[in-house]
Structure 1
């Protein structure tokens, strides 16, 4: 009760002074001083940038690796790439930072795309894995190439598309499956919707179970379109070349990020 009387008397004491100063009514949206002060006195947040103790060592090692790899890197496009593209009608589509590569061309009224990935370099095993039991490796032995999966899509406008999955190894293109799509987009589109639609489609018979003459004709069908021994030799070589380029790019990107 006493505290209530004190607060009341203080308000009564201060009210006349207030009226003497405030000759006009204050706008309703004026923020009281007691609410403004905390906003003014609140400390401003400051960002602190710090560097880990390992950063400089990691950057130094990345730079060492980068310089070593660059010293062994070919400055221009390798001859085997130039020779293959000059001898064939394919155009190369290769984006830095992507692990998939495409070879594209036209054949009459067809659009042909060959898609492969550098991830297949992980399928390469030690040379001794390819030796027969009891056989020893010699200097003249050439290690077989690792298998590279290549998906060949042949499109015709308004007629659908055929996708033929193959494996390239040791100069041979082995066919694994042949699929037909009534809609061209289902053969190429990489969306979740297209993937869902493909799941419900009949993908075709087991290729190895087809009549041998039919298998041979499919192989000749691809050969006419440039899917041949030259391509089978080119794919593993390009995968190795591309993987090396991406590794150098990765080293440079990591060094730039860590040192920033």
Structure 2
């Protein structure tokens, strides 16, 4: 959805040759055109209706201010364990080739999420980390590793880890794979999280896009004022 808005912004003012004149009037015209376009799309996005409110499974609590950061979204207690859930769209991690229709997101893109599940225990410096693919009707584990509690979510990616990250999950014994699935299922990590996390990402995408239009417009406007002073 947000990709379509950005795409329309680019298509409304395609690349073209500008007159080879270096003048204040040309610079002012370019700034004004860009500011007008940013404002139009800011207003367009601001009128979008948010998705219906969705609550997470009752055992999980939403982490305060999660929308403004890159950290965990949900947290719960399971005995002495603390379980944290972070989420991102799969399309944001593994960019897909542009489609003939302009590269817009389709239902398959939207319905694929990556979640990071951290299970920590008091007195231990490391936590058990699961990287999972989450879908409307299923959850699949991609990897299981031990990570330092100090390692933040932003640094947990698909890059090559600095320490051994465990065996390839699909290569381990099937009974062990099933047991790992049972382990996180027992802690409430399953496809019941999908509806909330998808709606939460819509709200976050909307907020980030609004903030982007506003901050870029403010920068250009202030730069324009400085030159005219």
Per the alignment, residue 79 of structure 1 pairs with 53
Question: Is residue 163–residue 179 contact of structure 1 (8 Å, CA) maintained in 2?
Answer: yes
SS at structure 1 position matched to 2:46:
helix
Deviation for aligned residue 1:184: 3.4
- Offset of 1:119 from its aligned partner? 7.1
Matched, 1:163 2:135: no
Q: 2:46 aligns with which of 25, 48, 70?
A: 70
Q: 1:243–1:84: structure 2 CA closer, same or farther, 3 Å change rule?
A: same
- Decide whether the 8 Å contact of 1:147 with 1:167 is kept in 2: yes
- C-alpha RMSD over aligned residues: 3.6
Cα distance in structure 2, aligned partners of 1:253 and 1:213: 52
Structure 2 unaligned runs (5+)?
1-23, 100-105, 223-229
| Secondary structure, counterpart of 2:73 in structure 1 | strand
Structure 2 residue aligned with 1:151:
116
Deviation at 1:124, TM superposition (A): 8.2
The DSSP-based 3-state class of the residue aligned with 2:29 is: coil
Q: Counterparts of 1:209 and 1:233 in 2: how far apart (Å)? A: 30
Deviations 1:97-130 (A, max 9, x none): x45553222221112222223574576879x9xx
Aligned match of 1:208: 170
1:10 paired residue number: none
TM-score (norm 1): 0.59
CA contact (8 A) 2:71 2:154 kept: no
Contact 2:72 2:84 in 1 (8 A): no
Question: Is 1:114–2:90 an aligned residue pair?
Answer: no
1:150·1:168 contact (CA, 8 Å) conserved in 2? Answer: yes
5 Å-filtered alignment, 1:20-59, equals 52-59=28-35
Relative to structure 1, the CA distance from residue 214 to residue 122 in structure 2 (aligned partners, 3 Å threshold; closer, same or farther) is closer
Residues 113-122 or 150-159, more deviating:
113-122
Greater RCO structure (CA 8 Å; 6+ sep): 2
User: Take 1:165 and 1:234, find their aligned partners in 2: how far apart are those partners?
Assistant: 18
Which blocks of at least 5 consecutive residues in structure 1 are unaligned? 1-48, 129-141
When Rg is computed on C-alpha atoms for both structures, the one with the higher figure is 1
**Contact preservation (8 Å) 2:112, 2:133:** yes
Q: How does 1:99-248 map to 2 (within 5 A)?
A: 102-118=73-89, 120-121=91-92, 143-144=107-108, 145-159=110-124, 160-181=126-147, 184-185=149-150, 187-188=151-152, 199=162, 201-248=163-210
**Residues 206 and 245 (structure 1), Cα distance of their counterparts in 2 relative to 1, 3 Å cut:** same
Inter-CA distance 204–109: structure 2 relative to 1 (3 Å threshold): same
Q: Contact 1:84–1:234 at 8 Å: present in 2 too?
A: yes
How many matched pairs? Answer: 186
